[in-house]
Each structure stands twice: as C-alpha cells, then as structure tokens.
C-alpha cells in the first residue's frame, strides 16, 4: 500500500530487440535460445524479429527502424549487409539505443560491442583441411553465401587467401553464390560440378551452402571432398556417412547469449569489450565423439 501510495511503480523491465539474419536455419534458432536464456537470467525482455529470407536487407532495415521508434532499450543485430545497415545502426546510436553487433560485422564503429566467430580464421582452417586432404594439389570450387554478408565473406576470403599463399598446387576454379538458400546452393554446386569434371573439393561457407553442396555430391560420394560450415542434423548425417569430410562449427548459442548479456551490461553502466571473437571448431569423423565437440554441437536449444 505504501509503495502504491507513494506512487512508486516497479522498475520497467529492460527490453532488448534481437534481430538475426533470418529464421529458417538451425543456426539462428540456437542464437535465439542463447539470447532467451541470457534474458531470463538477467530479468529482461527480448523482442526477436527476423526477415523471412537472408537476402531481405531492406526488410531488416525496417525492423531496426521500427524497434528504435518503439523505444527499445538496446538492439542486438546480425547485419544482413555490412554497408546497408550502417545508416540504421548509426541512427539508433544517435537516438540513444545502443547496438550490439552479433555474428556479422557492419562498416561503422558506433556499435557497443561485436560478438562473432573469427570468420577469417575459420576460412583458414577450412583451407588447411582441404590442402591436407588433397596433398596440396587439385581443383577446388566455393559455394559462397551472399555479397555484402561480412561474416561469410570473411570466411571465403580467409579460405581463398590461404589456398593461394600456402597451396600453389591447388586452383580455385570456380566460386558462385548460393544466397543462403538451400535450393540455390544445390543448383550452383550442381553447375560447378558439371562445369569442372576434374573437381577435387568444394568449400561451402554456411549451413545452406553446405547442405546444397552435399546434395549435389550425393552421386559422387568420395570422389569430391566437401568442407562445409555450421552444424545441423542433416550436416552431421553427411559427416557420419562420409558425404561431408569436415565442418567448421560455430557457437551460435553463445553468440546469442553474449549479445544479450553485453546489452544488459551496457544498460547497467558496466564496461563491455568492443570485440568478442569466438573461434570456430573443425569437426571431423575422427573428433566427432570428443566430449567438447559433442557439447558444442548439442548446445542447448531450449531458452
Ligand atoms: C550463416 O550466416 C552467417 O552470418 C552465420 O554465421 C551463419 O553461418 C547463416 O546463413
């Protein structure tokens, strides 16, 4: 009664908008679970809002602007395009809404913190795996993700530069975009395999690209090696069957969790590291049953 009489109201719960690149892939479901867990532990609310397709950066811009207009306390954002999202991120900061960049960089420095995989380093790991499997000689192709997506571009760059620097006997004979879409990734993989009969390996830089490439290689099991990215039941099946030779696996649950935690720390006046890079792990049939690998690929999906 006294509280009410004094006109005191319970403090408003902080609200953090969490805006991923999309919603279809298991990767984002893991990010969502981690974000929700951190929100529950911190006693804050999250608003999860995603575009249908990972190519719809205009739609993602609308979501960011809408969240700023409804005065959320902070935003966790995985920018679909490292340039197109600069304006919305800078406008959010100008209006006092701190932004935590998650998963994929953006070409501005006004964000509070970035929590993501060391994607260039992951690309280097993939190149070393291919170089080793091919004994430093052969023809490889890349199923890339999409132009403007800084995270996957860094993987592709890390892969290509490492192949050129360390494996001069390996040629990257083709590289095409699967646009984070299963069907498109399957089509471009099929076309590259048909265009290059002597192909020895493929590198795919995200979940959709890896699934599409594995499907395209179904009838060529063993002849063409495949190093993919991310993790899902289908990709693990491919790894166990030998369709896929290795996967670069990230920490999506931790990325979602750390993004919300960093937003809460910022809102509560605590210091937050500007860069929070998480290493990707190379998973193969040989190490698949290691306890820490199992823990990472079975990260808890329940919020
Ligand atoms: C993929 O896009 C990247 O930004 C994520 O890390 C994931 O690998 C999902 O399309």
- pLDDT truncated to tens, each residue of the chain (303 aa)? 454 455 566 678 999 999 999 998 899 999 999 999 999 999 999 999 999 999 999 999 999 999 999 999 999 999 999 999 999 999 999 999 999 999 999 999 999 999 999 999 999 999 999 999 999 999 999 999 999 999 999 999 999 999 999 999 999 999 999 999 999 999 999 999 999 999 999 999 999 999 999 999 997 767 899 999 999 999 999 999 999 999 999 999 999 999 999 999 999 999 999 999 999 999 999 999 999 999 999 876 666
Q: Which two tokens stand for residue 240?
A: 């166990």
Ligand 1 pocket test target in 21, 78, 115, 179 with most atoms within 8 Å of CB: 21
> Which residues are within 8 A (CB) of 298 and not within 5 positions of it... i.e. 6 or more apart?
none
Report CA(101)–ligand 1 centroid distance (Å): 13
Shortest-distance Cα residue to atom 9 of ligand 1: 206
**So what's the architecture of 119-249 in CATH?**
3-Layer(aba) Sandwich (3.40)
Q: Are 217 and 188 in contact (CB under 8 A)?
A: no
Nearest to 282 by CA among 130, 180, 178: 130
Q: Which fold has domain 2-117+251-279?
A: Rossmann fold (3.40.50)
Report CA(95)–ligand 1 centroid distance (Å): 29
119 CA closest ligand 1 atom index: 6
pLDDT score at 5:
52
Shortest-distance Cα residue to atom 6 of ligand 1: 103
What is the distance of C-alpha 232 from the center of its chain? 13
Shortest-distance Cα residue to atom 8 of ligand 1: 206
pLDDT score at 302:
64
The structural domains of the chain, with segments of one domain joined by +, span 2-117+251-279, 119-249
Beginning with the edge strand found earlier in the chain, give each strand of the sheet holding 113-117 in spatial order.
Answer: 45-48, 15-19, 74-77, 99-102, 113-117, 275-278
Report CA(287)–ligand 1 centroid distance (Å): 23
Q: Are 115 and 132 in contact (CB under 8 A)?
A: no
Dihedral over Cα of 35, 57, 90, 86: its sign: positive
Give the count of alpha carbons within 13 A of 12, CB side only.
7
What is the distance of C-alpha 303 from the center of its chain? 19
Nearest to 22 by CA among 264, 227, 206, 298: 206
Residues with CB under 6 A from ligand 1: 21, 25, 27, 54, 103-104, 149, 151-152, 180, 206-207, 229-230, 250
78 CA closest ligand 1 atom index: 4
In this chain, the answer to whether the domains covering 2-117+251-279 and 119-249 adopt an identical fold is: yes
Report CA(207)–ligand 1 centroid distance (Å): 7
Report CA(214)–ligand 1 centroid distance (Å): 17
Report CA(155)–ligand 1 centroid distance (Å): 10
């Amino acid at each position: 009664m006294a509280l009410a009489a004094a006109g005191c109201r319970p403090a408003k719960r902080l609200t953090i908008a969490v805006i991923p690149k999309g919603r279809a892939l298991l990767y984002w479901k893991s990010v969502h679970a981690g974000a929700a867990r951190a929100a529950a532990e911190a006693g804050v609310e999250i608003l999860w809002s995603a575009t249908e397709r990972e190519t719809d950066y205009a739609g993602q811009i609308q979501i960011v602007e809408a969240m700023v207009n409804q005065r959320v306390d902070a935003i966790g954002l995985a920018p679909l395009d490292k340039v197109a999202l600069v304006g919305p991120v800078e406008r959010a900061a100008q209006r006092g809404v701190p932004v935590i960049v998650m998963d994929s960089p953006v070409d501005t420095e006004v964000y509070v913190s970035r929590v993501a995989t060391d994607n260039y380093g992951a690309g280097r790991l993939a190149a070393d795996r291919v170089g080793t499997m091919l004994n430093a000689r052969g023809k490889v192709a890349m199923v890339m993700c999409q132009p403007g997506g800084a995270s996957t571009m860094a993987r592709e760059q890390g892969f290509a530069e490492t192949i050129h620097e360390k494996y001069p006997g390996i040629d990257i004979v083709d590289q095409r975009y699967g646009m984070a879409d299963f069907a498109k990734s399957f089509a471009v993989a099929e076309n590259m395999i048909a265009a290059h009969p002597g192909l020895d390996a493929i590198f795919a830089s995200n979940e959709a690209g890896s699934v599409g490439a594995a499907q395209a290689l179904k009838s060529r099991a063993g002849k063409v090696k495949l190093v993919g990215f991310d993790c899902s039941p289908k990709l693990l099946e491919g790894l166990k069957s030998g369709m896929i030779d290795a996967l670069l696996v990230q920490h999506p649950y931790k990325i979602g969790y750390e993004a919300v935690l960093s937003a809460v720390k910022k809102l509560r006046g605590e210091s937050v590291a500007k860069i929070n890079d998480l290493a990707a792990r190379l998973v193969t049939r040989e190490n698949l049953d290691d306890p820490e690998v199992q823990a990472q690929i079975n990260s808890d999906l329940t919020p």
